[in-house]
Structure 1
Amino acid sequence: MESIRILLVDDHRAVLEGFVARIENETGLTVAGTAVNGAEALENAKLYKPDVVLMDISMPVLNGIETTKMFRDHHPDIKVLILTMHDNREYIQQVMSSGASGYILKDVSLEEMINAIKAVHEGATYFCQNSSKALFESSANRKRSEYKKDVLSQRETTVLILVSKGLSSRKIGQELDISVRTVETHRQNIKHKLDLSTTAEMVEYSIKNNLLN
């Protein structure tokens, strides 16, 4: 199996060197290159052709949120995993709506970082524990359209639960013995029926309605 090629992006050289040292000796992972801002990351993506970009939010020239949007528009096959010190809900929501596949904090363990890289590479969405808490802890008090209940089929509910647990469409298809295209159809139907737009909102719905217990 080929190694997952990673592009590390952070405006602090010492931080970059530290993460290179953490990752480079891990089996199945390769640090393809580094960049110190979003503009350089986009250029280096053309040069190094990474599978996953680990990127900070606060950077000069082009910040992580704007860079993520450009990766989504111009390099849709490259997964963006945000690696930052910011754990507030506003940042997380902005990042996920910009097209990132995951959000982890810089103080996570090496094991969790590797799990996150592998998860987003496979097409899943990944939130570390602290970012999940920041994202959902005040959801009960936020005013948004009322969630619709009892509108999903049993199969749609199962797919929703598996999505919320971080499984990719491919993994869900294997779990349920259905095609990836069928899984994607279920995901779109779920979003339509529940008036949801993102995977993060699907996870939030599952948590609020105790589907993950």
Structure 2
Amino acid sequence: MTEHIPVQSAQQTRHAQQVHLLLVDDHPLVRDGLRARLETIASIKIAGEAGTAEEALAIAASKPVDLILMDINLGTDNGISLTARFKTEYPHIAVIMLSMHEKTEYVNQSMQAGARAYVLKDAPAVEIIEAIDTVIAGGTYFSSGLTRQSTSSDTSQALTQREKSILKCIATGKSNKHIARELGLSVRTVETHRLNIKRKLNIEGQADLIRYALNNVIV
């Protein structure tokens, strides 16, 4: 499943601000390839390269970084745990996970750790650009090589049946008041369920919750 934002929005995002990007991969050749491709885009500035977790954290502490392209495997380090550390220590930095793994567990662990996108390493280069545009615009992105099931099944299993019902209502555009009336609940109860859903799915804003519902719920 790939979540796209309108082309016009992506272009506006690209021209509106320069993105300081950190490349984190333990293979220098991979970093060289990414740098060569991304340096051609005027709105992207490579803030640095890192092959280990400590190198990545040191760069983030000394230079402005908005976004990280993070390898899921970093030799003796782990990109997922490093993503979680960045979410705690540098919550303003968004992470795009790069991986050869299509397994559900890797996708869900990455998103739960705080990654905003999951892109397969063998995906076309244009997908990395789309992922960057989407994440900077506030959205989430999954490589087109991933199935709908792999990006949503395990995380949604954490929800109760009531929470799933509310998420389905959110996907159809219903307000808290309408959801409360339809399910026979108070508005305050619906608001509490929304908070619990966001916590379980590791989603922060209302817009991201609506986006998740639209892309992961069959109505």
Match of 1:167 in 2: none
Q: Is the 8 A contact 2:108 2:151 kept in 1?
A: no
Write the distance in 2 (CA, Å) between the matches of 1:105 and 1:159.
34
Contact 1:38 1:61 in 2 (8 A): no
Q: Residue in 2 aligned with 1:96?
A: 111
CA change 1:96–1:155 in 2 (3 A) is closer
Instruction: Give the structure 1 partner of residue 218 of structure 2.
Output: 210
Q: Matched residue pairs, number?
A: 184
**CA gap 1:55/1:63 in 2 versus in 1, 3 angstroms:** same
User: Aligned residue for 2:72?
Assistant: 57
Structure 1 counterpart of 2:145: 130
Letter in 2 for 1:13: P
Is residue 2:119 matched to residue 1:111?
no
Task: Indicate if the aligned counterparts of 2:65 and 2:93 stay in contact, CA closer than 8 A.
Answer: yes
- Determine what percentage of the aligned residue pairs are the same residue: 31
Which residue of 2 is the match for residue 41 of structure 1? Answer: 56
The answer to whether the Cα contact below 8 Å between 2:84 and 2:113 also exists between their aligned partners in 1 is yes
**Structure 2 counterpart of 1:123, one-letter code:** G
Residue of structure 1 equivalent to 2:5: none
Whether 2:194 is the aligned partner of 1:190: answer yes
Q: 2:216 & 2:138 partners in 1: Cα distance?
A: 24
**Residues 87 and 134 in structure 1, CA contact (< 8 A), matched pair in contact too:** no
Aligned partners of 1:147 and 1:194 also within 8 Å:
no
Alignment TM-score, normalising by the size of structure 2 = 0.69
> In 1, are the aligned partners of 2:50 and 2:56 still within 8 Å (CA)?
yes
Higher relative contact order (CA 8 A, sep 6+): 2
Q: Aligned-pair distance for 1:110?
A: 2.3
Question: Structure 1 residue 93: deviation in Å?
Answer: 1.0
**Cα distance change, pair 97–150 in 1 and its aligned pair in 2 (3 A):** closer
Bigger drift between 24-33 and 187-196 goes to 187-196
| 27 and 189 in structure 1: CA distance in 2 versus 1, 3 angstrom threshold | farther
Letter in 2 for 1:190: R
RMSD of aligned alpha carbons: 3.5
Q: Which moved more, 1:146-155 or 1:50-59?
A: 146-155
Supply the distance in 2 between the matched residues of 1:13 and 1:152 (Cα, whole angstroms): 43
Partner of 2:94: 79
Report the Cα distance in structure 1 between the residues aligned to 2:124 and 2:18, rounded to whole angstroms: 20
- Report SS of the residue matched to 1:129: coil
- Tell me by how many angstroms 1:58 deviates: 0.8
Structure 1 runs (4+) deviating above 6 angstroms are 152-156, 200-204
Any gaps of 5 or more consecutive residues in structure 2? Answer: 1-15, 176-189
* 8 Å Cα contact 1:39-1:62 kept in structure 2: no
**Amino acid paired to 1:30:** K
* Equivalent AA in structure 1 for residue 46 of structure 2: V
What's the CA shift for 1:27? 2.6
- Cα separation, partners in 2 of 1:157 and 1:35, compared to 1, 3 Å: same
Aligned to 2:40: 25
Q: Distance in 2 between matches of 1:53 and 1:159?
A: 35
Aligned CA distance change for structure 1 residues 110 and 195 (closer, same or farther; 3 Å): closer
